[in-house]
């Protein structure tokens, strides 16, 4: 199967843009989807919530600050194998300065929404995240939460495989990552300061809300993870030993 899908994918890739990016783009994306599913199938052999994930029953909300930047995050979510997600961008101050290309990307999918703070805080995106948590409190349809950044990249199997790691006792799941601060090398995460980023953590909505986003300093990302740990303890965390997140 791998040989066939890769051959067809590469064959289509050699066609003129008018074909490969037009009528055949759906075929290319479907082949890519199948290959992702096949290659990541064995990461979690017996998911506790396999049927719920298969039926797309869980809503996953991504909360991300944004400021005058191209929303790479949205591009990565459009490619997810699990489709029941929503993305809330919170612009740091008035969003009128976002360029047309970025706005077109945000408006291209109704799973993506954009709100803004009253004024620019310029505090590593923490004030926009706090605004995002205010919106989360209103969203009872959300099951899981990811706090990340607009320039981060979540690999296409991120949502599906992270959800597969949950069981009834798990309150949060985290994975390994690639990190620009470390020359784009593979980075083995652990539940310690400077060894994890909030973008590689998926938490249950209620646990995330109870933890909140309480620190506007440089260490705010870690404080969120630390507050999650305070809420449920490290035994309620599960780690997926796969690199599914790229910190930009």
Is the CA virtual torsion 163, 164, 167, 170 positive or negative?
A: negative
Residue 19's pLDDT is 64
- Pairwise CA distance, residues 204 & 170, whole Å: 9
Question: What local confidence, expressed as pLDDT, does residue 32 receive?
Answer: 72
The second-level CATH assignment, the architecture, of 44-247 is Alpha-Beta Complex (3.90)
Structure tokens at 16: 């003129």
CA 82, CA 162: separation in Å to the nearest integer? 10
From-to residues of CATH 3.90.550.10 in the chain: 44-247
Residues above pLDDT 70, as percent of the chain: 92
Tell me what the mean pLDDT of segment 122-132 comes to: 96
Average pLDDT, the chain: 91
**Predicted pLDDT of residue 31:** 73
Cβ proximity of 165 and 232 under 8 Å: no
Query: Distance from CA of residue 194 to its chain's centroid?
Result: 20
* Residue 71 pLDDT greater than 70, yes or no: yes
User: How far lies 216's CA from each of 20, 122, 127, 129, in Å?
Assistant: 45, 10, 7, 10
What average pLDDT score do residues 159-174 get?
Answer: 97
What pTM, to 2 d.p., does this model score?
0.90
CA–CA separation, 59 and 143 (whole Å): 5
Q: Which residue has the tokens 């690999």?
A: 155
Reported as a single tens digit per residue, the pLDDT across 21-62 is 666 677 777 777 777 777 777 889 999 999 999 999 999 999
Average pLDDT over residues 123-142: 96
Selected residue with higher pLDDT from 4 and 98: 98
**Main-chain phi, psi angles of 15, to 5 degrees:** -75, 160
């Amino acid at each position: 199967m791998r040989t066939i899908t890769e051959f067809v994918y590469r064959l289509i890739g050699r066609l003129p843009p008018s074909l490969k990016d037009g009528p055949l783009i759906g075929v290319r994306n479907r082949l890519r989807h199948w290959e992702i599913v096949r290659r990541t199938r064995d990461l979690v052999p017996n998911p506790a919530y396999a049927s719920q994930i298969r039926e797309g029953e869980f809503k996953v909300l991504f909360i991300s600050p944004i400021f005058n930047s191209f929303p790479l995050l949205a591009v990565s979510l459009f490619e997810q194998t699990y489709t029941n997600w929503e993305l809330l961008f919170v612009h740091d101050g008035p969003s009128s300065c976002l360029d047309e290309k970025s706005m077109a990307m945000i408006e291209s999918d109704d799973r993506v929404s954009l709100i803004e703070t009253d004024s620019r805080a310029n505090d590593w995106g923490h004030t926009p995240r706090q605004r995002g948590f205010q919106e989360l409190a209103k969203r009872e349809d959300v099951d899981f939460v990811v706090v990340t950044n607009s320039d981060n990249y979540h690999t296409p199997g991120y949502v599906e495989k992270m959800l597969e790691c949950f069981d009834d006792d798990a309150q949060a799941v985290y994975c390994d990552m690639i990190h620009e601060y470390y020359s784009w090398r593979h980075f083995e995460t652990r539940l310690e300061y400077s060894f994890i980023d909030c973008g590689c953590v998926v938490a249950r909505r209620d646990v995330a809300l109870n933890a909140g986003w309480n620190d506007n300093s440089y260490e705010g990302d870690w404080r969120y993870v630390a507050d999650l740990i305070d809420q449920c303890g490290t035994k309620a965390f599960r780690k997926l030993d796969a690199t599914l997140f790229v910190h930009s």
